[in-house]
């Protein structure tokens, strides 16, 4: 599931680029993620972990909240606007991502298996329902919660595993929204840096 999990590190890179913060990336090998030392930092052995001075933060949602509380480019300062954005952060991660991930995992990793043929219609129906509900919200706005925010970083990266399946294309507002978010210079910088970092490993 590496290709789906990569979404989490892209989220943090993207948020750091939006905030204009300098950062260094240290890659963690699968072996290191199983060590007791890494587990003390990240109980589930996942990536990424943010280090900011003496502070260490895991879970991409919590990292974006942490950055957003310090940088208005990631989350608005006004409390009402920030509440709107956090609602959509949790919606992206908790209401949409599970269904998108379940379907993407089935289609990408298990397409030929018998259980997948039987289960696919239900998972597809649920994912399409959620995509339609987000699409409906975008009728009169460019971003989920007023100005661009961490909510849009999360929703865009939640949708990206569906690229290979073309599922978002059926929702015109959602597809336009995703393209709008990915057209941001901060996303381009994060993606270029991410791609460059993993290019040697891919070539090897």
List the structure tokens of 154.
Answer: 């999360």
Residue 50: what are its φ and ψ, rounded to 5°? -95, 130
Q: Taking CB under 8 A as the rule, which mask of x and - marks residues 161-200 in contact with a second copy?
A: ----------------------------------------
List the structure tokens of 178.
Answer: 């995703």
CB of 116 to a second copy, least distance (A): 8
| Under rule CB under 8 A, residue 102 binds a second copy | yes
| Under rule CB under 8 A, residue 9 binds a second copy | no
Kindly state the helix (H) or strand (E) to which residue 52 belongs, with its residue range.
strand 49-52
C-alpha 111/C-alpha 104 separation (Å) is: 10
C-alpha 135/C-alpha 138 separation (Å) is: 5
List the structure tokens of 23.
Answer: 């950062």
| Under rule CB under 8 A, residue 71 binds a second copy | no
Residue from 59, 153, 159, 171 touching a second copy (CB under 8 A): that is: 59
C-alpha 19/C-alpha 65 separation (Å) is: 13
CB of 48 to a second copy, least distance (A): 12
**Region of 17-25, 36-44, 165-173, 184-192 interacting with a second copy (CB under 8 A):** 36-44
Q: Which residues of the shown chain bind a second copy in the complex (CB under 8 A)?
A: 39, 43-46, 55, 57-62, 65-66, 80, 83, 86-87, 89-91, 93-95, 97-98, 101-102, 113-116, 118-119, 130, 133-134, 136-137
């Amino acid at each position: 599931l590496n290709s789906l999990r990569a979404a989490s590190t892209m989220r943090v890179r993207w948020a750091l680029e939006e905030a204009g913060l300098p950062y260094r990336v240290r890659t963690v090998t699968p072996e290191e993620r199983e060590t007791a030392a890494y587990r003390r930092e990240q109980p589930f052995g996942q990536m990424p972990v943010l280090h900011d001075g003496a502070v260490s933060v895991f879970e991409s949602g919590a990292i974006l909240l942490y950055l957003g509380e310090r940088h208005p480019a990631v989350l608005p300062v006004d409390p009402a606007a920030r509440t709107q954005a956090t609602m959509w952060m949790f919606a992206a991660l908790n209401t949409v991502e599970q269904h998108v991930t379940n379907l993407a995992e089935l289609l990408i990793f298990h397409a030929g298996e018998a259980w997948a043929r039987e289960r696919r219609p239900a998972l597809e129906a649920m994912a399409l329902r959620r995509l339609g509900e987000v699409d409906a919200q975008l009728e009169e706005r460019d971003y989920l919660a007023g100005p661009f925010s961490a909510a849009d970083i999360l929703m865009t990266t939640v949708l990206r595993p569906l690229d290979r399946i073309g599922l978002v294309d059926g929702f015109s507002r959602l597809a336009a929204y995703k393209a709008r978010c990915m057209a941001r210079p901060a996303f381009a910088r994060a993606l270029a840096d991410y791609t460059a970092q993993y290019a040697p490993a891919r070539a090897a």
